[in-house]
Structure 1
Amino acid sequence: MDLQTTIIGMVLIALCVVPFIFVYNKKKEKQQLLIKQLKAQAITSGCNITRHDLWHNTVIGIDDNAKCLFFLRRTKDGEVQRQAHLAGVNKAYINGADNAIDKLELILVHNSSKEGDTVLEFYNSATLMQINTELQLVKKWQAIVEENLIK
């Protein structure tokens, strides 16, 4: 009787745990694919990602040597890809970091008025219900960009 109970218990535990493992592995695959796409975007531009961050369906990375920033976001409407050479950027600021955050963006202002500002959307309340680490990430990446503007 004890052996049967143990076997039934192990089977039930396995049935409960296996879906979580499956979901975790699928999430990791999607994340690795996003990072791979970002690195491919960088290689196309002759760059190599030295640092990156990943959240939801978004990844941002930088080549510190070439001073080039890459951004990739997947939405239900498609993909948003951005790239900015920091040599042509004058400053970076955060848009939307007030009390009621509906949108959180990192704006890169270019030296040339001909080239429009590069907008990198970190959070949008229309697509995500709750803000998590996006505020910390946008501040981190603003500091990284500013650090690369000084050098």
Structure 2
Amino acid sequence: MELDFGTLAIGVFALLLCIVPFVLDYKSRKKKENNLLEPLKKIAQQQNCQIGEHEVCQNFIIGIDKGKKSVFFYKEEKGKITEHFIDLATIQTCKVITSHKTMSNAKGSYKVIIQLELNFISKNQGKIEQTWEFFNADVSPKLNGEVQLVEKWCKLINVQLNN
């Protein structure tokens, strides 16, 4: 069986046609990550910290400086920018707050997440708790990995608090 130039060209073209969307998607995600990472790094630098670990999801990024036990959050949403910093030395615990709404249909009722937040409870009883919003159904219609991300970061933060 011989492979002629026409068959080879069609094969290469088909392969490129399959690979190009993945490459473009990867580049788009990396660009989006870098656009969110730069402001997060600036927030960390203002606190004399460095982002050691971070994670991007949709329109926000969360990062941590484990050495200085500080957590940072940056979110861009409909032209509104939200920035948060917290020194874990002042925090007793971190927990996930999930708000649900009960919906009904012919098959029965089910719960839908309408809001997802990380809540930081201060060691100082007189200080107000801090809450960072990761998802709000009024702004974004569907979840895209936020639940897993928030649970992962809650565990990571609580491990830092216990060290």
Alignment correspondent of 2:62: 60
Q: Summarize the Cα distance change of 1:102–1:65 in structure 2 as closer, same or farther, 3 Å threshold.
A: same
Of residues 133, 144, 155, the one that matches 1:121 is: 133
1:70-85 → structure 2 map (5 Å cutoff) = 70-85=72-87
Segments of 5+ residues of structure 2 without an aligned counterpart are: 101-110
Provide Cα deviations, 1:106-131, integer angstroms capped at 9, x if missing partner.
00011342x32221111111121111
How far off is 1:101 after superposition? Answer: 0.7
Q: Determine if the alignment matches structure 1 residue 109 to structure 2 residue 109.
A: no
The total of aligned residue pairs comes to 149
1:1-151 → structure 2 map (5 Å cutoff) = 25-96=27-98, 99-110=111-122, 111-113=124-126, 115-151=127-163
> Which amino acid counterpart does residue 145 of structure 2 have in structure 1?
T
Q: Distance in 2 between matches of 1:43 and 1:123?
A: 26
Q: Summarize the Cα distance change of 1:112–1:126 in structure 2 as closer, same or farther, 3 Å threshold.
A: same
Moved over 3 A (4+): 17-27
Provide Cα deviations, 1:69-122, integer angstroms capped at 9, x if missing partner.
000000114100000000000111111165421000000011342x32221111
Percent identity between the two aligned chains: 29
Q: Distance in 1 between matches of 2:99 and 2:159?
A: 20
> Which amino acid counterpart does residue 97 of structure 2 have in structure 1?
N
Q: Distance in 2 between matches of 1:18 and 1:134?
A: 28
Higher strand share: 2
> Which amino acid counterpart does residue 142 of structure 1 have in structure 2?
C
How far off is 1:52 after superposition? Answer: 0.7
Query: RMSD across aligned C-alpha pairs, in angstroms?
Result: 2.5
Residue 88 of structure 1 contacts residue 112 of structure 1 at CA under 8 Å; is this kept in 2?
Answer: no
Residue 82 of structure 1 contacts residue 118 of structure 1 at CA under 8 Å; is this kept in 2?
Answer: no
> TM-score, normalised on structure 1?
0.81
